[in-house]
Amino acid sequence: MGWKRFEVEIESPVSASRFFKAAVVDSHNLVPKLVPQVITGIKMIRDETTGRLFKRTEFSEFIPFRYTLDRVDVMDEKSCSFNYWLVEGGRLGKMYDAGDFELRVTPKSDGGSVLKLNGAYHAYEDVKVTEEDMNVGKLGLTAMYSAVEAYLVANPDAYASE
């Protein structure tokens, strides 16, 4: 089947640095509080041997898989960029043998930002990945980032320190 790519773009009235800090850097604390019906926990794990950072996301019973484990390749607060590979869990091993993601939050001239997520899954040869399959992930990510945005709009001092 090869690589199936998708893109999510969200414009936000929230500044790029606040959005990035809340949605990425502190996601393990904030996101499970905002969407507990979907995400029950997030753990950041540092491999003591390699020094690599991993992000494990635990999902509720409403999601067809229990967790995902991502290898974090880049988490740069200055450029508001986050790159990671799906290494375990989710649909990996069932539909896909790899998943690669890049998130960038860029400032807008009006003080807001644009969040852009590019994702790609490499499907097994015998698996037909439909648009509906791809939309499930896109909708989930959009809902999560929308919850973060709503929280930041309602709490203008949250994540405001530089």
Encode pLDDT of 13-38 as tens digits: 999 999 999 999 999 999 999 999 99
Diameter of the chain measured on Cα atoms: 50
Quick: pLDDT tens for 102-126.
999 999 999 999 999 998 888 888 8
**Angstrom distance (rounded) from CA 8 to CA 37:** 22
Residue with tokens 């950041």: 44
**Angstrom distance (rounded) from CA 94 to CA 117:** 23
Question: Which amino acid, one-letter code, is at 43?
Answer: K
Return the pLDDT at 1. 64
